[in-house]
Structure 1
Amino acid sequence: MFDFTVRARSGHWVLQDAEAGDLGAYETRDEALAAASDWVRLIDMPWPVLVCDDEGEWAQTLVEPSRPH
Structure 2
Amino acid sequence: MAGRLGLYRDQVDDESVHRAATAGVSTARILDVVAECAFATLVGMVDNLAGRGPLDELLRPRAWAGASRVP
> Highest CA radius of gyration, 1 or 2?
2
TM-score, normalised relative to structure 1: 0.29
Bigger fraction of residues in helix: 2
TM-score, normalised relative to structure 2: 0.28
Bigger fraction of residues in strand: 1
